[in-house]
Amino acid sequence: MPKFLKIILYSILYFFEFLFSFLALYLSIALIGSLIPVNSGEDLSEGVKIYIKTNGIHTDVCLPVVSEQIDWRTFIPVSDFPNVKNHSYISLGWGDKGFFLNTPSWSDLKFSTAFNAAFLGGETAMHVAYFENEPIVAPSSKRQYIKHEKYVDLIIYIKNSFKTVNGKVDLISGRGYWAHDNFYEANGSYHLFNTCNIWTNKALKIAGVRTPVLALFSHGIMRQFE
């Protein structure tokens, strides 16, 4: 076999060896991190009622629109959601902007979108939805009560995730999936170790909710409520 072909062959083999080793390490970190809980104290039966929701891949926090601590309508204008008449709960999630805007369903996922999100430190966006009714408890929607003072800290964390212009959130116009949601410019950079579920995991840590020490995938969060 010619020398240059051997070089190419060995380069390909080394690449796949590195790729498989990296994936194995990444998945091992994800597994170990998801098995170690924090905030593992007693469950509350009163306080601010919140929900943690998942579509199987992505997670969001779902909060009462109006509480003693905040009226979210003063921060996320309801004028951006003309089809929502009543505002009971608001769902918020952070993630890669390109992935959010270009992948309304999993059938729209492209390799370039996934690669850019994972490895190139893409821009980010906040996905926001107003709901007219309170969520129901289901395998994909879990309810928790948090202390009022913890909710104040959670509000600060979420607000700081939004990129603002003159103190106002920056709407990405016309890019929502449905009639009750929108996207907004966000702070931070997305990558393999700073995923949408890491954002939710940090939110739950701040809120004092039992959650993994590290949650790269949604299952690591949701399994804590089983």
CB-CB contact of 44 with 147 (8 Å): yes
Q: What is the pLDDT of residues 209-223, one digit of tens each?
A: 999 999 999 999 999
Q: Which of 68, 67, 72, 101 minimizes the C-alpha distance to 84? A: 72
Residue-level pLDDT at 44: 82
Q: d(Cα 74, Cα 207) in Å, to the nearest integer?
A: 21
Q: Is the dihedral of CA 149, 152, 154, 160 positive or negative?
A: negative
Question: In the chain, which residues have pLDDT < 50?
Answer: none
Q: d(Cα 76, Cα 66) in Å, to the nearest integer?
A: 12
Residue-level pLDDT at 92: 98
Query: What's the Rg (C-alpha) of the chain?
Result: 20
Residue type, 73: R
CB-CB contact of 28 with 185 (8 Å): no
Residue-level pLDDT at 136: 95
**Domain boundaries, given as residue ranges, for the chain:** 36-225
Q: d(Cα 213, Cα 88) in Å, to the nearest integer?
A: 31
Between the alpha carbon of residue 116 and those of residues 98, 122, 123, 124, the distances in Å are: 8, 6, 10, 12
Token representation of residue 219: 């299952």
Q: What is the pLDDT of residues 167-184, one digit of tens each?
A: 999 999 988 888 899 999
**Tokens 């996922």 label which residue?**
109
Residue-level pLDDT at 108: 52
Residue-level pLDDT at 31: 84
Give the list of residues 6+ apart from residue 181 with CB closer than 8 angstroms, or none.
81, 91, 127, 128, 129, 130
Residue 181, strand partner residues: 129
